[in-house]
Amino acid sequence: MATTLYFSRNYNPRLAVAVARFLDAPVTFAFAAPLAPDQAARFRPLNPNLRVPILVEEDGTTLWETDAIACRLSRRAGSRFWRTDDGEPDMIRWLSWGGSNFVAACDKVHFERVTKRRHALGPTSEAAVAEGLAQFARAAAILDEHLAARTWLLGDEVSYADFRMACVLPARDLAGLPLAAHPAVAAWNGRLERLPAWRDPFAGLEAPDLPPIRA
């Protein structure tokens, strides 16, 4: 039994697939929709949250949550992508800060302008969008200053912190995130997009498109 990474096209599973492809991890990719009525019973033992990504090992053990999967795959590859040396605290700092600030802001705007419209979850809250954009401006300014003199968040070598921080940015145009207002962040995102594993992690995979965005 091969190690299997279950994924979808949503941005956290996309991140897990991008990590696996960047590391050239020996995994089999399998599209999954655990929330589908006929799939819940199958996937609940693998992840009680019924969410992907899920990594199922050769011995049948499972690991869920994107950051944990990235850590496991990087360690197995013997890669510095997930720092394990003295750079690890700095990486963890950015994962923690991003989850509460930059990524949280991107997600808030994306949810209102994209996710709600894709899945008919109700009207867009312009108040929530405004709050998210204000949070984005504050966080992006901090990120812009940090990246002004660096190629990547941790210096001259890409790390998982870069992938995690940028996880919503592939949908930036759909969400209307004003990346151009922060040139160092925009340049950093451009460098990420030159990495094939990040630019198109689903290349060659069977992965149904997400539902269209309704007006």
Q: Where are the domains of the chain?
A: 4-82, 88-198
- CA angle, corner 64, sides to 17 and 177, nearest 5? 55
CA distance 115 to 182: 24
Contact assessment for residue 81 and residue 69, using Cβ atoms and an 8 Å cutoff: no
Q: What is the pLDDT of residue 91?
A: 97
Return the CATH class of domain 88-198.
Answer: mainly alpha
Q: Is the pTM of this model over 0.85?
A: yes
Q: What is the pLDDT of residue 215?
A: 75
Q: CATH second-level architecture of 4-82?
A: 3-Layer(aba) Sandwich (3.40)
Contacts of 199 (CB under 8 A, 6+ apart): 192, 193
CA distance 164 to 98: 8
**Structure tokens, 61:** 């053990």
Cross-strand partners of 7: 31
Q: What is the pLDDT of residue 208?
A: 92
Going by pLDDT thresholds of 50, 70 and 90, the confidence category of residue 137 is very high
Q: Is the pLDDT of residue 108 over 90?
A: yes
Distance of CA 62 to the CA centre of its chain: 20
Contacts of 47 (CB under 8 A, 6+ apart): 34, 54, 62, 64
Q: What is the pLDDT of residue 46?
A: 96
Going by pLDDT thresholds of 50, 70 and 90, the confidence category of residue 1 is low
DSSP 147: H
Give the DSSP H or E segment for 31.
strand 28-31
pLDDT tens track for 33-86: 999 999 999 999 999 999 999 999 999 999 999 999 999 999 999 999 999 999
**pLDDT, the chain, mean:** 96
CA distance 213 to 118: 4
Give the DSSP H or E segment for 107.
helix 102-110
CA distance 137 to 117: 24
Phi, psi of 182 (to 5 degrees): -130, 85
